[in-house]
Structure 1
Amino acid sequence: MSEPSLKANACGTANIAGANSATYTTPATTTGDSGSTFQVVVTNTAGTVTSNPATLMVTPAGSPIVSLSTNTLTYATPNSLSTVKAQLVTLTNTGTGVLSISGISATGNYSQTNTCGTSVAAAASCTISVAFNPSGTGIQTGAVAITDNAAGSPHVINLAGPVSNLAPNAAVTVSSQNTGTGQLGSKAVDGVITGYPGTYTYEWATNGQLAGAWIQLTWSSPVQLSQVVLYDRPNLSDNIQAGTLQFSDGSSISVGTLPNNGQGYPVTFATKTVAWVKFTVTQAVGNNIGLAEFQAFGPLGPVVSLSSTTLNFQSQLLATTSPAQSVTVTSNGTSPVIFSGITVTGDYAETDNCNGSTLPVGSTCTINVTFTPTATGTRTGTISLADNAMGSPQTINLTGTGAVLTSPSITTQPANQTAIAGQTATFSVAASGSGPLGYQWQKNTANIAGANSATYTTPATTTGDSGSTFQVVVTNTAGTVTSNPATLMVTPAGSPILSLSTNTLTYATPNSLSTVKAQLVTLTNTGTGVLSISGISATGNYSQTNTCGTSVAAAAS
């Protein structure tokens, strides 16, 4: 019976070249292949039969989607009795494909740690803990940038602090409080983020309540709110696992599990004008719950986030211009950013679509930066963005190195090579000089087509190649250098090669107490054919015996 022939009717019933066995594996599929049918025609000298068609359905590869529990973190002015605490952001992959993360970084006076690793499965989550280390009392902005394979990358968490906390200006009422230990409702707005098992008098604790406990902040006149940050008591035995924020405008927001390791749980929402906000616990574990701190913040106004605050350029030749590097500028506040000027210092230039524009909330613009060094060595510069956002002007720090052009030189010459006919041989060179370096290998001084890298491998050699020389010409814009020639020796295939462990034996003057002893020489056939020996003889006052016989196989001794 003849070999079967396979056909596919993705477009009619066309034969698939080379598909001539009982099994067929397609090339990598695309969604365009979906719905194609495949059938096989089996033949022998007696006749032909065609199988039923089988249909291929191709599902689009799953795409990841990044969902952040908040894209804004606000930090209160630190109290002299406590430090600024980290806040926790949850990243969830709500898509159907694996989220690959290539980097998570923080800018400004902020730092981050995370549990995300390099990938997050579909429907899985990880957490990013963001800490603030303020320098001075002025507003300091920053961002956490998450670079990944999902649409919208990099995903940015906008950071701002220290920002005025509205909670201390509110009257506090609670469902209950532990007056005997001083764990009063008012301690949840005292600006000190600490509590039991540290200093419990700086926290609010109920009198044995769990679910159903509540705390309310009421202002004497309505205020604008856009974020609340809740800090659970740092008591690992008690934990708030769910709750509800209710507002005087009738709206409410669900709250998840609060971290009880001292970190804040931020809840961000569209700006509300309210007279009060109330947090009610709906689920808890332990013996008693409360809060170390309850913070409330108004809208941030315009906020600028930069995808990078530092650009590093590779070594660049003097008076030449580098490829551009880009910085994405994002409006992440609660009102548009208005740019009034962009200035550049140092050996740098920029083009942008930001300057003079108004950037709506959630929108981006781009700054493209190039480097043209005017002197050798490290060259620094800055780009400053003037705008109506907090922290203006924002600064991008620039660093590059100016270099002079040096002509190429050979640092490692090509070496002679030996090959058996039918084998290949490889020649290599090492060269220095200003990049990019160009390579052109030559055989017997004639250019070899396509041999344009630092290494060249010959085609299968023949005995006619034996004695050929190979050299390489290395070039850049400053000059040219040619390597020393290396010689290729080709041994006929199947030929024996005789190799002796030594070709000289020396004997000492014998002592009266001993005779001259024999010495041993090893003969090895290092070739690929059988070594035929027609005779082994010694001359002079010497004699020999051997184990060689009349032949030695290839690789034998």
Structure 2
Amino acid sequence: TWTQTASGYKNESNTGPRVGMFYMANSAAVSSVTVNYSTPGGVIKPGIMVMEISGAAVADGSVNGGTAAPTTTSTSGGLLTSNANDLLIFATDASGNESGRTAGTGYAIPNNKVTTGASGSDIRMAMQYAVVNSTQTYTTGMTYTNSNWNGNIFAAFKITSASADPPAVSLSPTSLNFGNQNVGTTSAPQTVTLSNIGTATLSITSIGIENGDYSSDFAETNNCGTSLAAGASCAINVTFTPPGDRSDFYATLGVTDNAAGSPQTANLTGGGLAPEAVFGPGLLVFSNQQLSTTSAPQTATITNTGNMPLSIISVSIAGTNPGDFGQTNNCPLSPSTLAVNASCTFNVTFKPTATGTRSAALTVTDNTNNHAGTNQTVSLTGTGCPSTGCGGGGGSTPAVVQVQNNIDVSGAAFASFSVPITTNSGDLLVAFVRESSNGTDNFTVTDSAGQTWTQTASGYNNESNTGPRTGMFYVANSAAVTSVTVKYATSGGVIKPGIMVMEISGAAISGVLDGSVNHGTPSGTTTSTSGSLTTTNANDILIFAADASGNETGWTPGTGYAIPTNKLAIGASGSNVRMAMQVAVVSSVQTNTTTGMSYANSNWNGNIFAAFK
């Protein structure tokens, strides 16, 4: 005697048709199955469909559903199960004859033939099934050709442990090292083989590159599809395109599936080969110079900090007043090259042809990052005076001595974060600071000399309500220091901290700040534009510091500004993967002046624009 499923009988209307599902677990061998009706005189249009299943145990829930109106879809009720490994059976009946049926997604009608005999459907009835390996909060359905009323029963039956063996996965190898690859070029593919070493079909949800700030530098293609039969294998081909000259690019290949231990992973590593030019300082300022007389030379230096020889293609002076400046150098021009870690020097002079502020830019064109035609610039400015004399004196000349930066984008938490920098006493130090944890951390800055730094008047700047959050701090007439530290106030620390410190000689020793303003764009863009800054002092150095919410591969200064050393690295640099600082020297009071900086990848941004006397 068979047991009825817990959801009982299902009527398609008050007068029928009426359906029911019955089962017998661990059945004896049989040669026929009979349904006995209790209506006196019998019933019309009887039907019975029996499915035999090996490896099953007892029922794990059932639910009835149906539509008491003409339709071509039979949709189940929501089935809740308690067992992870079940066979789901959806049985549906139509009030009129059908000529074809289509199983629901992920289900199969064992033998979809509308007839009497060995079949999963007939002219009124059909059964579909699916095997699952997790508990269900689930519905399904089946479509048919002719519009009829319908009734259905949706039931789950537990699979015995012997038949519930999950697929098992082998990913080989579990790491790929691409070695050193020329920056901007794509490696030959390396293959990771995904094998289903289990006895059940593997369902593949996704395959992709993940887990790391360099995941976009690796790519994959595969022939695996969405499932892999027991004993079968497929190939995942991975390539690497390094964006810069570093040795520690990394990411993870991940395969998400229904096997134990999902996701399966393989570590990916590689390095980039390229020359890298560091040209600085970013600004040379010549004090007052009489017309048609030549100043003493000032020096700019270019260093190849990459790991391949640097080709210097050309050297030029351009801009507003190029004829007022001259240069000599000892740099090798292409086809000669500048060796790794080697430097060469430019001696720049100023010979004004007119009075007032004169400006230009010294440009070196080279093959940084293997991109022939890359320009490195040092901004040049000076003041021409009449031949009768300049009068009044110009005071000391401001100059950017150095910029040092440090950043961590790993996601680790930090309560404090430092940058090493060895400075001269008496200089102005300006720090630009970031974190990505929240929009409420009131971080502060100190240094190895024990000085407490002052925040610019415009305060903290949030790129969104939850961060990133930035701030600018300074100390005038500073003692000599060897490091600068930002201390965060958030309990447990913050993630993705960064600090960039600029040393400036020739600044005022007190009352140095001459105004600041915050701004930014809380949406994806490639330009960070300042707010309007108004100053009171005629002779200022303007500093514009920008931060991006995601990693960047390059920064371009605004017109008339220079990024002192535009290198995306930790160390001696005016920019890194999230932060950059640009400078300009002015000789007149500024009224609602603005500037901006562009970057490669679209991200939110925040910025602080400040003037120092």
Q: TM-score if structure 1 supplies the norm length?
A: 0.26
Larger radius of gyration between Structure 1 and Structure 2:
1
Q: 1 or 2 for the larger relative contact order (CA 8 Å, sep ≥6)?
A: 2
